[in-house]
Structure 1
């Protein structure tokens, strides 16, 4: 599966570790059940990531966030948006590591993924065959403004309108 970020496809340095298996490697991605044991036995330079369902609460990861380098959130279907909320909650909780979307998301969602706090997308092979890298990059560049406050960079459309009205009212 290709790994995509805002710059395009790149190599995936993370090694998925099956449940109960030893977490060896420089960058390991484990399930939530194995996370406490892996953190307890981590080597100094080892990077740790966790893959979670979109039904996990950000509070369930709270105690681990400072020790994680990656949180991979599963999308069971492209039309199940709970992972967007979880990514946003992780960012609001102060998580500074990478957030990855895993599952059947589509290029049209890329801008929204990035705006909610995702850094990268693990694109399933079937979707990558239908939607090449250029389509994902074009989708990311297609939106310059949003209606949601605090969604992405810069002021929202509504904040910009309020500022313009305030400026016009002051000039009159």
Structure 2
């Protein structure tokens, strides 16, 4: 499957390794949660990047102690109707301060690209190469949003209509 980052198909540097396979030396790996948690201490000394596939049915707060060991977090969409990975992405970015790559994997649909990008994903494991163009078009289709997505985003239309600044203080009210 092609990997999309910022509307471009990129080469996936990370090799997915099952729980039973040996970790290749000197190669960035993407491993499952159970394996990572069992081998976290040993993986600290690894000379190559480590990424984790975090399931959407586990609390994202469990990953907090390990963020400094990770080079990539992949969040799973087991079904297009299951949006828990959106919440996990927001929590990772806003509460846990994750600034590294955040990848959407699993049942990822074109219709969801814009919401994924606004939720904090910067990589999408797409179904086909044509999805790169669809991703680029989706994230550039709108320039203004009614609802805010992240604290760093420009003031939303809702805030503008309510006459509020980014800080939430009504216009004309002294701070």
Q: TM-score range by the shorter chain?
A: 0.7 to 0.9
Match in the other structure for 1:2: 2
Higher helix share: 1
Query: Displacement of 1:4 after TM fit?
Result: 0.4
Query: Displacement of 1:37 after TM fit?
Result: 4.5
Cα distance between partner residues in 2 of 1:47 and 1:91:
20
Give the number of equivalent residue pairs: 165
C-alpha deviations, 1:32-74, integer Å up to 9, x for none?
1111354423345311100021112111111111211111011
| Aligned positions of 1:1-172 closer than 5 A | 1-24=1-24, 25-42=26-43, 43=45, 45-92=47-94, 93-124=96-127, 128=128, 131-151=130-150, 153-163=153-163
TM-score (norm 2): 0.83
TM-score (norm 1): 0.84
Query: Displacement of 1:23 after TM fit?
Result: 2.0
8 A Cα contact 1:29 1:50, kept in partner = yes
8 A Cα contact 2:56 2:77, kept in partner = yes
Structure 1: 5+ residue runs without aligned partners? none
| Superposed CA RMSD | 2.3
Query: Displacement of 1:150 after TM fit?
Result: 4.2
